[in-house]
Amino acid sequence: MTMNEARPASFEASTTFPSKLQSKTAQIGVIGLGYVGLPLGLLFARNGLPTTGFDIDRAKVDMLEKGASYIRHIPGPAIMEQVEKKGFRATTDFALLEGMDAILICVPTPLDEHREPDLSFVRNTTEDITPHLRRGQLVVLESTTYPGTTEEVVLPILEQSGLKCPILSYATDGSRVAAPAETEGDFLLAFSPEREDPGNLQFQTHQVPKVVGGVNASSALAAQALYDQAFEKTVVVSSTRAAEMTKILENTYRCVNIALVNELKLLCLRMGIDIWEVIEAASTKPFGFKPFFPGPGLGGHCIPIDPFYLTWKAREYEFPTRFIELAGEINAAMPDHVVTFLRDALNTRKQCLQDARILILGIAYKKDIDDLRESPSLRIIDLLKDKGAQVDYHDPYFPRLPRTRKYDFGMAAVEPTAEALASYDAVLIVTDHSSYDYAAIVRHARLVVDTRNATKQVKEQRDKIVLC
């Protein structure tokens, strides 16, 4: 056996993979073409790397192959350009994974009905990869999850293929792997948390630094080389666990600070203080304060979910995460507070919530996007219906409410015309879309309950507005 024949696949990948990236011949596969996977796949394609998107949803694949978009902030022409250039293609055929040099997993990681991690999408996807795994491939998990998932869940499934990838420690200075690459292992495995923020016009995908961590130095080097092709900056950490914890910290930080202002909002309401005025005044301090804002509850795929992933994992170490759990409880209870506040506002007008006609404005979890994952609006609709209210909604991005994992209301949007607004007992602003004419809403509605301070610029008929 020659020296080259004795070399393991990880050594070959660590030397040939970067050269394939430089020559733009490396084949990139992205599994899961949602709000994370689709922009990531298009980004690699725009940077000259042939990219294949994999999804089990035939309808999504058909749209992408025609150059059409199902995500509002990703325009169809941007997709069509890459499809026509043969830089991007979409498929439901997972057998094509064998031809990929790098496979990126971008699938959901929701909570189950007991608020515990549901890794079924990650497990199923990894099982789909395993029959097609070959020597020298790089697999990267991007789905947000608890520290240890890559090593404890993904790696054992991939090794059922008969190929091995050892967990070996390495050093890093934050921008590169400081230790030399190991020469053990048949394939490469890393974790790199997605940092997408749908609707954020200030930072595009490639501008947000990419954190990467490998199960060994060869894997970290390969992942760094991959993301360096498309991102302005890559930050290397010492392990997949460190990378996984990085994303959990980012979202837990936001979760606990939002819980703080939500709790202060409830106190300020009792004390007759305008929390929005207080936050604006506190924000004038040039140091030591970052503003967070209260609302009707948390939405999106990350902030309402990620802290619970951490608290679940912490139990394995017999470590109580009371602070984080309390923040999660406060935020999860906000839709109930909104409904109670609406009921009380109606009561002061000698009206009952039961049989009251309520129009909800905004279904998306935040303004100006077409994403309703974990949206508090859905929970609020469910609570109002349970209490006997007659509920309608409007959202410029959802003419009909799609079925979700938890809800299937089968509702169609009602246009907020002057006549329609006047016919409801209350209009509840849950998502402050920029397209709404809030002055007109206040002018025509009988009562406006505003959970976002969206009506702050409305000067007339303030007596109709109740800030919640």
Give the largest Cα separation in the chain, rounded.
Answer: 90
> Looking at this protein, which amino acid is placed at residue 409?
F
Q: What is the dihedral of CA 183, 188, 193, 197, to 10 degrees?
A: 130
Please identify which of the residues 106, 255, 302, 468 carries the catalytic annotation: 302
Quick one: which of 136, 165, 171 has its CA closest to 151?
Answer: 165
Rounded to whole angstroms, the Cα distance separating 110 from 217 reads 30
> Looking at this protein, which amino acid is placed at residue 87?
G
Element at 338 (helix H, strand E)? helix 334-347
- Extract the tokens encoding 371: 């994403």
How far, rounded to the nearest angstrom, does the alpha carbon of residue 465 sit from its chain's CA centroid?
A: 32
Q: Residue 393 — φ and ψ, nearest 5°?
A: -145, 165
> Looking at this protein, which amino acid is placed at residue 290?
K
Dihedral sign for Cα 414, 416, 422, 424, please.
positive
Buried b (16+ CB within 10 A) or exposed e, 371-389: bbbbbbbbbbbbbbeebeb
106 belongs to the catalytic site? no
Q: What residue spans of 230-375 are helical by DSSP H?
A: 240-271, 275-282, 306-316, 322-332, 334-347
Q: SS3 for 64-100, per residue? A: HHCCCCCCCCCCHHHHHHHHHCCCEEEECCHHHHHHC
Rounded to whole angstroms, the Cα distance separating 458 from 175 reads 49
- Extract the tokens encoding 67: 């150059």
> Are residues 227 and 192 in contact, defined by beta-carbon separation less than 8 angstroms?
yes
Q: How far is CA 324 from CA 285, 303, 330, 375, in A?
A: 27, 12, 10, 20
Q: Terminus-to-terminus CA distance in the chain, angstroms? A: 75
Enzyme catalytic residues: 302
